[in-house]
């Protein structure tokens, strides 16, 4: 019979890409065999929300809990020295209860695709059409905006740690050169 250990408020300190990092997981369940080898590790975060817990996925997007799940999964990997690709760390879970309508707590397991967005983000997708105005003009529309993951956010942190936090990177790199703007923003 495997041995289960449950940790509450589990702090993890680690170094990633040369940056000192931390994570504080609400709950970690470690399953070991009779020889104390780790069979599985499950990270869990407890969430409360206003309204129906069935609609928690919209809170994930609004509050970027995907980044939290991906970051905590990375922290568990570092803390327990789990090799990349090992099937020891189980999908991250959110346990959610409503503050306004108690009685329907739900457990959400984070899909690999959502962990991927939390870590690596998602690129923007644009549509370019050269015949919209029956001429040579080019019209474009952003169908899906870029979503940054923690890797891009860490890139920003490292850049600003080295160059200061007073101005955005685009402004710092442009110097006295005017920023170029189009309908969709700074390019």
1-47 pLDDT, tens digit each: 569 999 999 999 999 999 999 999 999 999 999 888 999 999 999 99
> Is the pLDDT confidence value at 183 over 90?
no
Domain residues of the chain, as ranges? Answer: 3-119, 125-178
* pLDDT score at 85: 78
The one-character DSSP state at 54 is G
Rounded CA separation 120/50 (Å): 29
66-113 pLDDT, tens digit each: 999 999 999 999 999 998 778 999 999 999 999 999 999 999 999 999
Q: pTM to 2 decimals?
A: 0.86
- Helix locations, the chain, DSSP H: 56-63, 65-79, 112-120, 150-163, 169-174
Rounded CA separation 118/71 (Å): 8
CATH tag for 3-119 (out of 3.90.320.10, 2.60.120.10, 3.40.50.300, 3.40.30.10): 3.90.320.10
Chain mean position to CA 95 = 17
Rounded CA separation 93/43 (Å): 6
């Amino acid at each position: 019979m495997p041995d289960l250990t449950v940790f509450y408020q589990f702090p993890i300190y680690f170094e990633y890409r040369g940056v000192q990092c931390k994570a504080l997981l609400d709950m970690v369940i470690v399953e070991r065999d009779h020889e104390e080898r780790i069979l599985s590790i499950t990270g869990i975060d407890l969430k409360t929300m206003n309204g129906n817990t069935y609609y928690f996925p919209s809170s994930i997007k609004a509050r970027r809990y995907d980044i939290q799940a991906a970051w905590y999964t990375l922290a568990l990997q570092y803390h327990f020295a789990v090799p990349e690709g090992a099937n020891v760390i189980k999908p991250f879970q959110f346990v959610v209860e409503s503050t306004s309508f108690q009685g329907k707590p739900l457990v959400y397991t984070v899909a690999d695709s959502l962990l991927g967005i939390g870590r690596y983000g998602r690129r923007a997708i644009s549509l370019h059409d050269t015949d919209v105005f029956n001429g040579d003009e080019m019209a474009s529309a952003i169908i899906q905006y870029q979503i940054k993951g923690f890797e891009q956010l860490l890139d920003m942190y490292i850049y600003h740690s080295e160059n200061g936090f007073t101005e955005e990177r685009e402004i710092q790199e442009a110097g006295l050169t005017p920023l170029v703007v189009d309908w969709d923003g700074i390019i």
